[in-house]
A = this chain, B = another copy of it.
Amino acid sequence: MLDGLFKPRSVAIIGASKNPYSIGHIVIKNLADYGFKGPIFPINPKGGNIRSFRCYKSVLEVPDEIDLVNISIRADLLPHVIKECGEKGVKFLIVHSAGFKEVGEEGIKREREMVELANSYGMRVFGPNSQGIQNADPEVSVYANFTFVPMNPGNVSIVAQGGGMGEMLKLHLYNVGLGHRMYASYGNECDLSMPEILDYYGQDEGTRVIMMQTESFKNPEVFLDVASRITPNKPILAIKAGRTREGSVAVSSHTGTLVDQAAMATAMYRKAGVVEFHDTHQMIKAAIAFSTQEPPTGKRIGMITNTGGPGIQAVDEAIESGLTLAKWSDKGKKRLEETQYAEASLGNPVDVVATAGPDHYFAAMDTLLKEDGTDMLLVFFVTAPFVDLDAIAARIKEAYSSSPKPVVVVIETRELWYGLINSLREGGIPVYEFAEDGARALAAMAKYAELRDRKKESPPELKVDRAAAEAIVKRYEGKDAYIPQREAFELLGAYGIPVPKVVEVKGKSDLDAAAKEVGFPCVLKVDSADVIHKSDEGGVILNIADEKQLAGAFDEIQSRFSGKKATFIVMEQKPAGEEIIIGATASPGLGSLVMFGLGGVFVEVMKDVIVALAPLSKPEAREMMQGIKGYPVLEGVRGKGVDLDAVEDLLLRVSRLAADFPNITEMDLNPIFAYPAGMAPMAVDVRLKIS
């Protein structure tokens, strides 16, 4: 439990200073300014006082118990004070000080020793190189952090690896009058971890929404577990820094991690039901909606506007964000006709026109909210100078309060009438400045509901020959190399993945037996760890029709690779089908990531791939297939589809194989030929690495 951190009974500040620009001073000021409910103990060897607080020379001098200590002294001075904290029985240390992991070898060692020392006393370390925590719960009101955004109580809790990003999230909630609940910017994450904080937020009754920003995942598996337990009850909105190659380089130079974790993050978010964002402001705007509204039960948006243009922007954005336009029932249409001006436009959006008054707005909203076919409502309201604005706002609130469906309002107005915005916000309605923002916020809520309510299953039991697979994997364990193709195919076969017949040929004398085994037409391939792009290097000869051609092909290929350590295989030739690629990559700390895409240029040029965590459940496998843009190719454009169930089964088996043997660090089934219903897809080439 992190009560000692987020609900400390008392806080001591080591590094307390009279210098108003020092972290130690600012933390004291923040704690005092925001009315921390417990005592504040500045620690300074010189004694005296800081602001109105008496200083103690050491925590050991403090007469009361101390739950939390903020430390901002030089890194090399820490062991001594940590020891004292331990003796004092402190529970949590927030280490602001830098000079640890981020400065290299020596810092890593210092960090490890610090954790060991603290843990030996039962203390937990938050940070180092961290900003601190806040809890705006009025019962506690702890601002143990050196930043500047005012702390107003709200129901959005924030956990951010980067301090600047965390502060940004707080700032813009504050700017719209929402405030936040708990806050943590955890820096180096040496001991107390992000998932622990997330878990604590998940259990906090005052937290309705969680926003998180991450640069790297220290323990992805634990994050996945914690997030998956939270999202059925409350939304987690997430931004992962470094989604481009360039961005991930910037992350690694900032945090010292080297692996690009963007694909992994996306896969984890999807699996855990976390809503992912790429734009900071969009995430904040979505949080604003989540903080007061229940997510919609479907994707059908209704819109009302009193001016055309922004309504169209809302339509365009809603559609691009995955929503659909609601249609009105006959009853609804009739009521709109009866209640709106003749010049109003009664489609979706309903354009009540600029002269619409309070009753027009109310009737339009009330009608749409009562429509079974409308799951959510966007109301646009330009403050036209000929109508009673306050009365319109009041009637909007009235209509809103009678319905459980989410409603967002977009107001176009000048500062003169900002009171309207406040009035609507006080009524629990999220208010935005642009139609696009309203549409995106609703779409984010619909996305959350869709993730939360989707079908969930365990990965299925599959009939596989695990022992046979294990025998092959064991043979190559520790070698960190591509294994021969024949055995790679055998490994796939053991997991029920359809593969062509393959026979190894060492010399010309093996050809006849091989041909007898696989039949004609057949394929002759080089099989060597040194030859990565077999086709490009002339290592694949297709369409071999008979013994004579096979012998000729063998001479040719043997001479071509005479310099290399190569063996060869003869392989059954399968008819071409729709090309699919399935891959798997070890993802340290998380097992394996499975990749799915259509063959060739779809993956290489169009980057149309989707990544998920192994092992897959059936709904997850299906979601992957449906998630690529090229899915209609599999379904069949003009009736030439493939056996979707068989492709799903293949995905399940590959993912199970990857999950069962984490030391399969790389696996590429490329291409797989998929065929029409009734014919099993066939993995005709494979590259497989075992570490």
Contacts and interface: CB of A to CB of B under 8 A. Distances in A.
Interface string A650-680: 0000000000000000000000000000000
Copies in the complex: 2
A185 B315 CA distance: 21
Given A414-B148, A434-B168, A533-B638, A345 B254 contact: yes
A317 B148 CA distance: 26
A102 B244 CA distance: 47
Contacts of A380: 164
A241 B606 contact: no
A626 interface: no
Nearest to A22: B386
A687 interface: no
A168 B310 contact: yes
A73 B308 CA distance: 22
A244 B630 contact: no
A73 to B, nearest CB: 15
Interface string A399-421: 00000000000001110100000
Nearest to A640: B536
B213 A309 contact: yes
Nearest to A162: B309
B343 A174 contact: no
Contacts of A251: 312
Nearest to A320: B244
Contacts of A98: 343
A560 B371 CA distance: 51
Nearest to A174: B414
Contacts of A385: 21, 26, 146-148
A319 to B, nearest CB: 4
A282 to B, nearest CB: 9
B605 A241 contact: no
Given A316-B243, A343-B103, A161 B608 contact: no
Interface stretch (A3-11, A273-281, A361-369, A539-547): A273-281
A347 interface: yes
Interface in A325-368: 325, 343, 345, 347-349, 351, 354
B351 A254 contact: yes
A280 B316 contact: no
Interface residues of A, number: 97
Q: Which of A171, A307, A349 has the most C-beta atoms of chain B within 10 angstroms of its own C-beta?
A: A307
A288 B9 CA distance: 49
Nearest to A535: B638
B412 A168 contact: yes
Contacts of A278: 316-317
Contacts of A589: none
A250 interface: yes
Contact of A162 (B165, B307, B600): B307
Interface in A373-432: 380, 382-383, 385-387, 412-414, 416
A246 B148 contact: no
Given A171-B412, A250-B349, A319-B244, A164 B310 contact: yes
Contacts of A26: 385-386
Interface string A268-305: 00000000001111000000000000000000000001
A431 to B, nearest CB: 15
Contacts of A348: 250
8 contacts: A98-B343, A146-B385, A164-B308, A164-B354, A172-B433, A241-B309, A246-B318, A604-B632
